[in-house]
Structure 1
Amino acid sequence: MSYDALLWLSFGGPEGPEDVRPFLENVTRGRGVPPERLDEVEQHYQHFGGVSPINRLNRDAIAAVEPLVDLPIYFGNRNWHPMVEDTLAEMARAGVKRALVFPTSAYGGYSACRQYDEDILRARAAVGENAPELVKLRQFFDHPLFVESFADAVREAAKDLGEHRLVFTAHSVPLSADQAAGPPEDGGRLYSRQVAEAARLVARELGVAEYDVVWQSRSGPPQIPWLEPDVVDHIEALHERGVPAVVVCPIGFVSDHLEVVWDLDTEARDKAAELGMGFGRAATPNNDPRFARLVAELVAEHTDGVPARRLSEFPAYGCTVNGAFCATLCCEPARRRG
């Protein structure tokens, strides 16, 4: 089947101080996040001049992928400019009829997968009858290139530390959202189990038998339970056990955007320094040439019938057409079921 373009679909981030508050309001709309939490997170962004690295990192990654695919690449975001609705309108004006979509998340779950389907539905509705057909690419948490990139990044981060504990981290989500993600007959928890599987694969590549999987970046109301432990709390616990150093691997992220550089490079690093612990942080895959090759392989699965490369048999979903949700309801929020 032929395709006219590739839509690179991401989260978005502010590119100036005046963008920060409206961006955060876009992200949290309808989620009941207290204003004081927005105030706190806004200061994280202002600490870096009100600019998130995410848009620049996406543009860099797109530039690396362009020579590897025979398709024009368009860039659109969920929460900040370039907004996906505007990008899809641009694609329609350019005559694009059928395009692949690469969402910048390796995992299932509502925020990591299903919400990208909603982005596609919203953008197509905004464009109307001339909207291109959109085919979203699959989840890739267990792709060999994803695993190899993280394994080499951990080696680099650990090379001068000596004895250390390897800690994988991903974005926390509400427990109810995680429990609802995945076919009920499989026990749900698709997101957290995929994160654990990716961590297992990287640890296996490294020959590491013992490691931890923890969480970061929670933002919801304090009365709602989220995935735990938090990475900073976990560093304190490791210190109490006498662990001399920690290497943190942000397995849940594909680029060093603000939640990585604040939560890990600032808060977690500062906590380790306060406790006198060594600290290393593995890079995300974004600037690794293997990440560009990974995206090209996902595209080739559709354009050339290339077999999917996976390192596990763990459940993975995600290929959808025009935002039509998976028949398994694998990433549907619990409140919407029934």
Structure 2
Amino acid sequence: MSYDALLWLSFGGPEGPEDVRPFLENVTRGRGVPPERLDEVEQHYQHFGGVSPINALNRRAIDAVRGLVELPVYFGNRNWHPMVEDTLAEMKAAGVRRALVFPTSAYGGYSACRQYDEDIRRARAAVPDAPELVKLRQFFDHPLFIESFVDAVRTAAAGFDDYRLVFTAHSVPLSADKASGPPEEGGHRYSRQIAEASRLVATALGVADHDVVWQSRSGPPQVPWLEPDIVDHVEALHAKGVTNVVVCPIGFVSDHLEVVWDLDTEARDRAVELGMGFARAATPNDDPRFARLVAELVAEHLAGAPVRKLSEFPLAGCTVDGAPCAVLCCEPARRPAK
């Protein structure tokens, strides 16, 4: 099967103070998030001049990928410009008939995987005779993904003789995590993939013990989410006598605002208050290995290149035009019959 382009599909982020509120309203539309919560999050963005690093990081990564693939690479977002609907219209005007899609998330689950399928369906519905879109697979266990984090942790930990290694990822409601996998597997594929990626990194580092915690919770307090929270965990480590902590944001592919606020600001500030040493490992960002990873995923479709992965998890996430994945790794939870 031939392809005419690669679409880089991401979350999006504001690029100026005036963008912040409309961006947040796009993110939370239909979710009933109270205005005071948006006010709080808006201040996080304004702390950095109203600019999220995510779009600039995506553009740098895209430039690196352009040097490795023989396809034109387009950039579209879910929540801020360039919006994926506009990008798809641009692709159609350029004569693209079939394109691969790289979603900037390595994992399964609703927000990490299925929501990108929804983005694809929404964009295609908005563009008459839109190009066919084939979403690339999940890559949390790809050797290049793991290698980039291994080196990032080594760099972050270089100043410590002893430290506790803590992996973080975006928290989700427990119900959403339970739904992120076939019932016969027991669900919870999102948190199990996070745990597996963390184990792969820790094993490569020769670290015998580590922690997996969560960050960026945004739901109401009465709804149970994955925990513990990273700041709470830093406090718990201090109470146990841990003096240095190295945090690896294994759940993220770039240093966007949830990384630089939740980890570099809130978690770091709390550690400093407690007199602890704190270091945060970099995400892949525009690491050349990340561009090579994307090129390898593309080559699986263009040239039948072998699949490289380090875990026993089944391949998942590859969809055509946003159709359900064959392994149903991130289907919504079914409501019980009344």
Q: Cα offset for 1:135? A: 0.4
Indicate the residue corresponding to 1:223 in structure 2.
222
Cα distance in 2, alignment partners of residues 11 and 156 from structure 1: 28
Shift of 1:336: 6.8
SS of 1:27's equivalent?
A: helix
- Inter-CA distance 101–118: structure 2 relative to 1 (3 Å threshold): same
Q: Which amino acid aligns with 1:289?
A: P
Q: Residue deviations 1:272-307, cap 9 Å, x none?
A: 100000001000011211000000000000001001
Tell me which moved more, 319-328 or 178-187.
Answer: 319-328
Structure 1 segment 68-79 matched on structure 2, within 5 A: 68-79=68-79
Q: Which residue of 2 aligns with 1:314?
A: 313
Partner of 1:139, secondary structure, is coil
Instruction: State the shift of 1:138 in Å.
Output: 0.2
Q: Secondary structure at the residue paired with 2:82?
A: coil
Residue identity opposite 1:86 in structure 2? D
Secondary structure at 1:287's aligned position in 2?
Answer: coil
- List per-residue Cα deviations over 1:199-238 (Å, max 9, x = no partner): 0000011011100000000111221111000000000000
The separation in 1 between residues aligned to 2:277 and 2:201, in whole angstroms, is 21
Give the structure-2-normalised TM-score: 0.98
8 A contact 1:136–1:321 mirrored in 2: yes
Give how far 1:335 is off: 4.8
Determine whether 1:86 maps to 2:86.
Answer: yes
Q: 1:327 to 1:317 in 2, by over 3 A?
A: same
1:186-225 maps to which residues of 2 (within 5 A)? 186-225=185-224
User: Matched residues, percent identical?
Assistant: 83
What is the aligned residue count? 337
Instruction: State whether structure 2 residue 267 is matched by structure 1 residue 291.
Output: no
Report the Cα distance in structure 1 between the residues aligned to 2:198 and 2:219, rounded to whole angstroms: 25
Does the 8 Å contact 1:33/1:221 carry over to 2?
no
CA deviation after TM superposition for structure 1 residue 162, in Å? 1.7
Q: The residue matched to 1:314 in structure 2 has which SS?
A: coil
- Tell me what 2:24 maps to: 24
- 8 Å CA contact 1:143, 1:311 repeated in 2: yes
Runs of 4+ in 1 over 3 A off after TM superposition: 335-338
SS at match of 2:326: coil
Instruction: Note the C-alpha offset of 1:326.
Output: 1.4
Q: Which sections of structure 1, spanning at least 5 residues, go unmatched? A: none
Q: Over aligned residue pairs, what C-alpha RMSD do you find?
A: 1.1
Whole-angstrom distance in 2 between the partners of 1:170 and 1:198: 11
Residue in 1 that maps onto 2:49? 49
TM-score of the two chains, using structure 1 as the length reference: 0.98
